[in-house]
Homo-oligomer: A and B are copies of this chain.
Amino acid sequence: MIKVGIIGSTGYAGGELARLLLQREDVEIKWYGSKSYVGQKYAAVYQNMFQIVEEVCREEDMTRLAKEVDVIFTATPQGLCASLVSEEILSETKLIDLSADFRIKDVAVYEEWYKIKHPSPQFIEEAVYGLPEINREAVKKARLVANPGCYPTCSTLTVYPLAKEGLINTDTLIIDAKSGVSGAGRGAKVDNLYCEVNESCKAYGVAVHRHTPEIEEQLTYAAGKSVLLNFTPHLIPMNRGILITAYASLTREVSYEEVKAVYDKYYEAEQFVRVLEKDVCPQTRWVEGSNFVDVNFKIDPRTKRVIMMGAMDNVVKGAAGQAVQNMNLLFGLPENTGLKQIPLFP
Q: Please report A residues at the B interface, Cβ cutoff 8 Å.
A: 12, 15, 19, 22-23, 46-52, 172, 174, 176, 178, 180-182, 186, 188-190, 192-204, 206-207, 228-230, 232, 234, 236-241, 243, 245, 247, 274, 276-277, 280-290, 294, 298-300, 302-303, 305, 307, 309, 311, 315, 340-346
Contacts and interface: CB of A to CB of B under 8 A. Distances in A.
A20 B14 CA distance: 25
B19 A344 contact: yes
B239 A281 contact: no
B193 A188 contact: yes
A285 B199 contact: yes
A15 B343 CA distance: 11
A243 B198 contact: no
How many copies of this chain sit in the oligomeric assembly? 4
Contacts of A172: 172
Contacts of A277: 50
A294 B19 contact: no
B300 A200 contact: no
A180 B47 CA distance: 20
B207 A342 contact: no
Residue among A12, A229, A237 with the most chain B CB within 10 A?
A: A237
A46 B287 CA distance: 11
B342 A286 contact: no
Contacts of A202: 243, 281-284, 311
Contacts of A182: 195, 346
B203 A193 contact: no
Contacts of A190: 186, 188
Contact of A12 (B49, B195, B307): B195
B247 A230 contact: yes
A203 B181 CA distance: 19
B207 A23 contact: no
Given A188-B193, A345-B15, A243 B201 contact: yes
A203 B342 contact: no
A50 B207 contact: no
Contacts of A283: 47, 200-202
Nearest to A344: B289
Given A178-B178, A182-B346, A238 B192 contact: no
Nearest to A178: B201
A207 B300 contact: yes
Contacts of A230: 247, 300, 303, 305, 307
Contacts of A50: 274, 276-277, 286, 294
A198 B194 CA distance: 7
A346 B241 contact: no
Nearest to A243: B201
A168 to B, nearest CB: 14
